[in-house]
Structure 1
Amino acid sequence: MISIIQATTRDIPLIHDMASIVFPHTYRSLLSKEQLDFMMEWMYSYDNLKKQMLEENNTYYIAYVDGAAAGYVSIRPESDDIFHLEKIYVLPQFQKFKIGKKLFQQAIKAIKEMHPDKCEMHLNVNRDNVAVEFYEHMGMKKIAEGDFPIGNGFYKTDYIMGITI
């Protein structure tokens, strides 16, 4: 059985632990170890996760399969009618269970609850990430691309994808 629950700050250690597995697994062939380490601290340290939740209006949801944490998604408002899908990751052992699709659908549902009128959901995805195909399958379109500096001389080389909801 799959369930998706909104996370709270009490879930920060769980999100951090999942990220420490899935983020390096996802980007091991795309990013250097130095950039992976930098991005893990930048996005997933306990302090940064707490800041995202309490100061930056990120809403996290955690997917569970038979009670075991399987993945997570986070969204945040970017402007009046644009929301950003910040993160969506599924642990490797759960990637054949359609958890990513369910987390994506949860993000859209949550955005519709926050903003019932027509709006957009955007996301950044590494241009070489196989997830680009998943997002296209979910109805997203490439709307821009760029090399975005993130600090320490590192860049995110991303597509920006969007969908109207």
Structure 2
Amino acid sequence: MITLRLATLEDASRIQKIAEDTWPISYEGIISPNQIRYMLDLMYSKTKIETAIKDQNQAFWLADKDGETLGFCSIEFGNPSSEYLRIHKLYLLPETQGLGIGKLLIDKITHEGLSHELSFLHLNVNKHNKAFHFYQKLGFEVEREEVIDIGNDYIMDDFVMVKAIR
């Protein structure tokens, strides 16, 4: 049985490991291995994860089964405005994708948004990431396209997606 729990500072290395195991497979053929490494270093340092866990406006939720963490999501309340719950990250170990764990995490995120009286879920997804279809299936709609310069001559070429939850 899958259980969802809030991450603690002790989970930072576990989150980092899942990102390291997931990104090279999820983004293979979409962005270069050098950009994958750059982005992992930029977004998944232990310090960066711990800072997000400590931030009272953010939360990491972990999906566990039999003592093993299979995936996680990261959310932020009130971003990009007070009506929104921002999904910063949602990653599952490749061998667990397609088993309904992502939907469990989205359901949890939706519950969190509703409990904070928010109206929308908001996220970015790479235009070529197969997760785009997962989000569409769950009712997210493309709000706009966005190209973000992340430094080192790399960009993120994304769809910004939104879902009304109330």
Per the alignment, in what secondary structure is the counterpart of residue 15 of structure 1?
helix
Q: Give the C-alpha shift of residue 151 in structure 1.
A: 1.4
User: Contact between 1:74 and 1:107, CA under 8 Å: does it hold in 2?
Assistant: no
How far, CA to CA, are the matches of 1:53 and 1:68 in structure 2?
Answer: 19
Partner of 2:111: 109
Q: Partner residue of 1:41?
A: 41
Count of residues in Structure 1 that have an aligned counterpart in Structure 2: 163
Unpaired stretches in structure 2, ≥5 consecutive residues:
none
- TM-score normalised per structure 2: 0.93
The CA distance in 2 between the partners of 1:132 and 1:95, in whole Å, is 14
Specify the alignment match of 1:59 in structure 2.
Answer: 59
Unpaired segments ≥5 residues, structure 1: none
Alpha-carbon distance in structure 2 between the residues aligned to 1:155 and 1:58? 25
Once residues 76 and 98 of structure 2 are traced to their aligned partners in structure 1, the CA distance between those partners, rounded to angstroms, is 27
Give TM-score, length-normalised by structure 1.
Answer: 0.93
SS at match of 2:129: coil
Alignment partner of 1:30 is 2:36? no
Q: What is the alpha-carbon distance in structure 2 between the residues aligned to residue 39 and residue 56 of structure 1?
A: 24
Residue in structure 1 matched with residue 148 of structure 2 by the alignment:
148
Amino acid at match of 2:85: F
Q: Is the 8 A contact 2:113 2:120 kept in 1?
A: no
Matches within 5 A, 1:118-137: 118-137=118-137
RMSD: 1.3
Partner in structure 2 of residue 96 of structure 1: 98
Task: Give the corresponding residue for 1:81.
Answer: 83
For 2:155, the aligned partner's letter is Y
Which stretch shifts more, 48-57 or 67-76?
A: 48-57
Query: For 1:150 and 1:108, how far apart are their aligned partners in 2?
Result: 28
What amino acid maps onto 1:45 in structure 2? Answer: S
Shift of residue 14, structure 1, vs aligned partner? 0.5
Whether the 8 Å contact between 2:7 and 2:53 is mirrored in structure 1 is no
Percent same amino acid at aligned positions? 31
Deviation at 1:9, TM superposition (A): 1.3
Cα deviation code 1:16-46 (max 9, x no counterpart): 1111101221012111111101100111110
How far apart, in 2, do the equivalents of 1:140 and 1:131 lie?
Answer: 11
Instruction: Write the deviation string for residues 67-123 of structure 1: whole angstroms up to 9, x where unpaired.
Output: 22110011102121112101111101211321111111111111222x22x511110
Secondary structure of 2:107's counterpart equals: helix
Query: SS where residue 100 of structure 1 aligns?
Result: helix
